Structure 1
Amino acid sequence: MLMIGIAGLELATHERAWLVAPGVSGVLLFGRNFSSREQVTALIETIRDVAGDNFLIAVDQEGGPVQRFREGFTRLPPLARIGQAYDHDPQNAIRLAEEHAWIMASEMRAIGVDFSFAPVVDLARGNAAIGLRAFHADPAVAAELGQAYIRGMHLGGMAAVLKHFPGHGSVAADTHKAQAIDPRPLDEIRRDDLRPFAECIEARVEAVMMAHVVYPAIDEQPAGYSQRWIGQILRDELGFSGAVISDDISMAAAGVAGSVAGRVQGHLDAGCDLVLACFPEVVAEAIDAVKGRAAPGTARLALLRGAIGSTWEGLVDNPQRDRFIARITALHKENPA
């Protein structure tokens, strides 16, 4: 029901209590929780000791500007570099997307992270918050590379999470900082931004993260608070049966629902299975907001647990990893970030 954030490199006493509170299903780790591979591996083991093996542990390890764990891990190029490669050699780019995903997933699984919130399948159409995080401006290309990325994640033992439904790339505002409004009609959104989501859902993706964007031609509420977007379009029209996840409730655009409790309950009432409370300052109030509430989508959340992965030592000894790293890190030199 809730995925929460913790403050630092080790669990504080009150955070241990949060992990076992009713309604808390997982932790999302950030750069503030990382100093080295050894440290974060120990932190993950401690979280599991407190909360149990079924507790979800996630991270944003997209590559490029959004890679929380850096030192000791492969420096992943942003997805936009794969899209640029597609313009010159589509088949090579599809292979690069699979390899990028496999490296990311394999490294995260080797330290005990269940999943990364990836891939971004928003369109690269100028949004400041998306930028290099998106594959391409063309919906067909974004869809094809997104499907390849999902295949690579699955081969690495990791569930995939599409974001940010129904598409954040074609609106200018950054929802971290302000409300974002996309006035286009549904037919135009279906033709463009929805296409990568629809085609990637066919690749058996396990979860979708909602955007905090308002699409007033469809619903006056941001998509994550909208029963129409979640129930009618995502579930009924697109046939998605996996987990629906909110974006962070502390973002400015989530504020239309008022208090922390209002934001949590608004997302759950709209049909979200998992609500992100990423900042420790809001976690206690978020936990209070779900007391006594029946957990939605428990079986769907179970699909987000990572498959049994290699140890770090076993991964390092895998020659496939070396080949893949050489190919994807070459993108930094060919298309400097």
Structure 2
Amino acid sequence: LTSVMPAHVIYSKVDKRPAGFSAKWLQDILRGRLRFDGAIFSDDLSMEAARRLDGRTLDFTAAAIEALNAGCDMALLCNQSLGDGAAVDEWLDGMQAARDQGRWTPSPDSESRRLALLPETLPQNWDELMLQPAYRNALDRLP
């Protein structure tokens, strides 16, 4: 696997924190015991349930910092760019402030895992992409 996404479930016999906010799950078990070296995505933090921690709902920035500090390589905030995208702008500003204040430091290891997900080939134009067998196969599977 090149990447995984932990669920926002709690396995209380392992850790009281949800798996996506748990260094025990992400670093000790997934990276340490299972030797997973791919990228870890947070769950979609736009879902309120995915931002629940210690009985409260965190804002996007606080949730992202918790997930990244626990061992996620990327924090996801989906479906928030609709309208004027204020939620995304606020989140990005919050992440910059957290970095400036020392509450979060980007991990060089995370950076290398994120870069490893990028394709090593030049992007194709749309007309060429539509002729690729994988694309044609995907179209054939649509209802």
Task: Report SS of the residue matched to 1:220.
Answer: coil
Residues 246-288 of structure 1 deviation map (CA, whole Å, 9 limit, x = unaligned): 0111212123232333212111121111111221443233223
Per the alignment, do residues 217 and 324 of structure 1 end up closer, same or farther by CA in structure 2, a change over 3 Å counting? same
Aligned to 2:2: 206
| Runs (5+) with no aligned partner, structure 1 | 1-204, 333-337
**Higher Rg:** 1
Contact 1:264 1:289 survives alignment (8 Å): no
Equivalent position amino acid for 1:314 in 2 = E
| Runs (5+) with no aligned partner, structure 2 | none
1:267 aligned to 63, 67, 75, which one?
A: 67
Aligned to 1:220: 16
Per the alignment, do residues 214 and 314 of structure 1 end up closer, same or farther by CA in structure 2, a change over 3 Å counting? same
Q: Does 1:294 align with 2:99?
A: no
Which whole-Å CA distance do the structure 2 matches of 1:243 and 1:321 have between them?
A: 24
Contact 2:129 2:135 survives alignment (8 Å): no
2:30 aligned to 209, 221, 234, which one?
A: 234
Which whole-Å CA distance do the structure 1 matches of 2:135 and 2:106 have between them?
A: 42
1:314 CA drift (Å): 2.8
2:90 aligned to 285, 304, 315, which one?
A: 285
Task: Report SS of the residue matched to 2:113.
Answer: helix
The number of aligned residues is 125
User: TM-score when scaled to structure 2?
Assistant: 0.72
Per the alignment, do residues 316 and 233 of structure 1 end up closer, same or farther by CA in structure 2, a change over 3 Å counting? same
Aligned to 1:306: 119
User: TM-score when scaled to structure 1?
Assistant: 0.33
Residues 29-88 of structure 1 deviation map (CA, whole Å, 9 limit, x = unaligned): xxxxxxxxxxxxxxxxxxxxxxxxxxxxxxxxxxxxxxxxxxxxxxxxxxxxxxxxxxxx
Task: Report SS of the residue matched to 1:303.
Answer: helix
Equivalent position amino acid for 1:268 in 2 = L
Equivalent position amino acid for 1:295 in 2 = P
Contact 2:42 2:72 survives alignment (8 Å): yes
Which whole-Å CA distance do the structure 2 matches of 1:229 and 1:325 have between them?
A: 34
Contact 1:227 1:271 survives alignment (8 Å): yes
1:245 aligned to 41, 48, 57, which one?
A: 41
